[in-house]
Structure 1
């Protein structure tokens, strides 16, 4: 199994923990975007990615995302796998993060303290949650409206009407993508698999139901 297949497998195992954008990327086969040959991030933004990931998964009893090389992983995945629209949203998010950092703390994001970075990302996280809820509510209202309009039409027109099969278009959110790729990069890295998880290099037979001790880490 190559790294891309491994990442795809972990993405499905995480399931609902991932955003619609990321799930969509893997369902579509993780195809390179048409801009994959271009430099998506500046040198300063590459440094930001490492610190951003390390803020999401910091060093605790185990090494954090920076030690696991998650920053370069995010850069590679965004460049090679995500659609152009998502790439633009992500780059704009990095620019907004840097601007917020300088406006609030008068310093670049990479120069902030861990507490300051956490505070800034917390703001982006709350804004993303609010935006996702609002978009979900708006999509539900639109579907209700379309369903009501469809009910008014004769039965022959309702049958096979494309309106009935409409699905809301998944929107891209900077923080959601950053969180997704940090999780994927970390838990498919050697550090994540062997130190954050309970790693058994020679697992033996498969047992689908194993009791875990209190405080024990999940198996890799």
Structure 2
């Protein structure tokens, strides 16, 4: 059976994408990162709440569960706590703090209390490097996507594994198949 982390790492490498350093370290070590709340916390309660809302905007709930349901914020906190250098941790913490500060300046409320449209507008500015370090948003987006697609929800609900699509019927009548067209 193919390991999904190997596939994700291979896809990133094949497209020439550079992984955010903690993801690259964890992937290289073959680490299993839990989607459960970490024993030691890296983020404050406000940062954790904002991270949950931002994660949900990146991977929203639609007909399948979103980032919150998949415990992506806990995954990110574990990943950063276990595998990130101080500079990587600071990039994420500073980015969340900058978004929160801008939310308070623009809307007089914390980032996690904003409407989806208001938060989207701030995230667009963050993505364009207008609020925080331009490296923040791509790193966060990578962590959200990796966290989601390596979670139980991401693997079993969002993605469906069909070892052989469809069914096999060895007695299917040829008359229903029709003619084989040769180009």
Q: Among 101, 104, 113, which residue is 2:103 paired with?
A: 101
Residue deviations 1:85-108 (CA, integer Å, cap 9, x gap): 111111111110100111112111
**Uncovered stretches (5+) of structure 2, i.e. residues with no partner:** 32-37, 165-183
Q: Confirm or deny: 8 A CA contact 2:103 2:110 kept in the other structure.
A: yes
Q: Among 53, 56, 68, which residue is 2:55 paired with?
A: 53
Answering whether residue 149 of structure 2 is matched by residue 187 of structure 1, we say yes
CA distance 1:79–1:86, shift in 2 (3 Å): same
Distance across 2 between alignment mates of 1:125 and 1:17: 20
**How high is the TM-score relative to the length of structure 1?**
0.60
Moved over 6 A (4+): none
Distance across 1 between alignment mates of 2:12 and 2:147: 13
Number of residues paired by the alignment?
A: 154
Answering whether residue 67 of structure 2 is matched by residue 68 of structure 1, we say no
**Higher relative contact order, structure no. (Cα contacts within 8 Å, ≥ 6 residues apart):** 1
Distance across 2 between alignment mates of 1:42 and 1:72: 13
Q: Among 127, 134, 140, which residue is 1:178 paired with?
A: 140
RMSD of the TM alignment (CA)?
3.0
Q: Confirm or deny: 8 A CA contact 1:19 1:177 kept in the other structure.
A: no
SS of residue matched to 1:127: coil
Match of 2:34 in 1: none
Q: Relative to total residues, which structure has the larger helix share, 1 or 2? A: 1
Q: CA deviation at 1:191?
A: 1.3
Match of 1:153 in 2: none
Q: CA deviation at 1:123?
A: 0.9
Match of 2:80 in 1: 78
Q: CA deviation at 1:12?
A: 3.2
Match of 1:115 in 2: 117
**How high is the TM-score relative to the length of structure 2?**
0.71
Answering whether residue 29 of structure 2 is matched by residue 29 of structure 1, we say yes
Q: Confirm or deny: 8 A CA contact 1:51 1:71 kept in the other structure.
A: no
Match of 1:10 in 2: 8
Q: Confirm or deny: 8 A CA contact 2:41 2:77 kept in the other structure.
A: no
**Uncovered stretches (5+) of structure 1, i.e. residues with no partner:** 133-172, 205-220
